[in-house]
Structure 1
């Protein structure tokens, strides 16, 4: 199992400098990849280009580039540019986002997300192959059939022969799609005890494509909090968990809430959502079960981290993308060091 760094969103004035320090430190420790996210603030390609220019070996990954935010052709252009400039270090992570962001921010209807994703990926791969892009789908038609456009091909060549493509997936059907058409899965709230159910869906998709899971990268974003007591370490993760389970999406369509229900936390998920949507985020945080946080995080001293990393590896994770917590950048840097030591101790 490899280690990665997940920077999440750039949300504060100090984030840029801090994210660069974290990335350079992860690179010095031998971390495989750094991932950057986007929602409706900083975009991931700009952050990744900035990081790539100041590093030399660590891979850079979009976790994710939002499908409703860009055309497939623009996505291919960006991927090719980042891969060329980073000399083959780019990994393309894609996700459909959710209805509130897709329709409220990008003005794109959140309809037929599975079919849209499939068509989007097919066009991106066609463009990156530097073939003329002609495509006839239900969502995308290239060139448009009633105008002067013609099938064009990408004028630059990526550095890599094939840019690895990942899908962020939460629901069963999307997991199956990721297994079928992607090179890896970007997982969130990955719990080793629940992994078999999710990876069964991935494997079904792999079988549809005539492949097994060999070479398929299971990337789990895992909160990391180092300290003497695991229960105390869980507290900084409560805000993140409450936001996603309680407030990421509408009451009727929150994929993370639905995931928590499938994981066996139906009552807690309903309570967290009720509190969060009632604008009581602190109460929602308090309602998050410790067991949910612990099962999806790395909490505690180095020895416990080693045990948990071994559990994640045994459950099928091939890249542990760590999201370090701490009151300062120095604490986060130290956490990344401890995690690297823990992985060596685990021997996985």
Structure 2
């Protein structure tokens, strides 16, 4: 994630900011330019005008969901939609008449907007339901039924991504994380994982890459329900860490792909953050320079996965050490083995439209 600056006063701004803390200007994220703009009201049409170097830009409008303090994005220029690029994909939102639901929705939207930030930078297709009625992307955030029936399950089904509302409750999510023995469970992680299933449909199935994906992740035609049941009954196989980025990835090739996809987005966005902060890692005890790394490249636009792979370990070692110094568990409790590296490289190549590994047929 990039850092931003106020065009009016130069104050450092963060992605979720709605107002500049120094000069008080309203802020709006512009998807066309990838910038957080300082705004002034235009009394003529109830819209907003960008200030500073963008003073000649046309009147812009905040997303309707800004009214609920859950969105700080601008409606794209020339759009007749009242919702921004991210909010227009919503299908089911929480009941805002219930106390606390607006705060939970805000947490969901912050994670979803970060997801869309990445999808837009990667120039990935984002078909709507209007464009693809049977597989376009939509999001639903339902809450569990009050009558004690089975809880809402987070998941993906032909373009519809469901994130259970309780996942936005930090205490509930942490409880589930511990009960399920997960090292890592976050709202943003859910969004990145579930959209991985969506892009398996778009970039693998519909693009004719199933054989290449099968060669890398395994046979996705195996019974998913049976695989899921076996995973929850027996857990991951011994030695799974060598080939899978998480224990859940061992469940089924679809889950392996989605977990790897999510992990790739974690890497790219975190590296962009390091670049934005001008981070440099150069521990003096590593005299051979093996852990020295400066971050000054475009992580989202990296032509080769090797560029990301070289930069990633020094950064994760540093942030883990910082967390331990604060008495916190490792921020990055993962090990990228050669096998996992090739899976991440596959996702990178798929995202950037690069040639995938050749499929080698078994001898007859």
TM-score by length of structure 2 reads 0.28
Higher relative contact order (CA 8 A, sep 6+): 1
Query: Structure 1 or 2: larger helix share?
Result: 1
Query: Structure 1 or 2: larger strand share?
Result: 1
TM-score by length of structure 1 reads 0.29
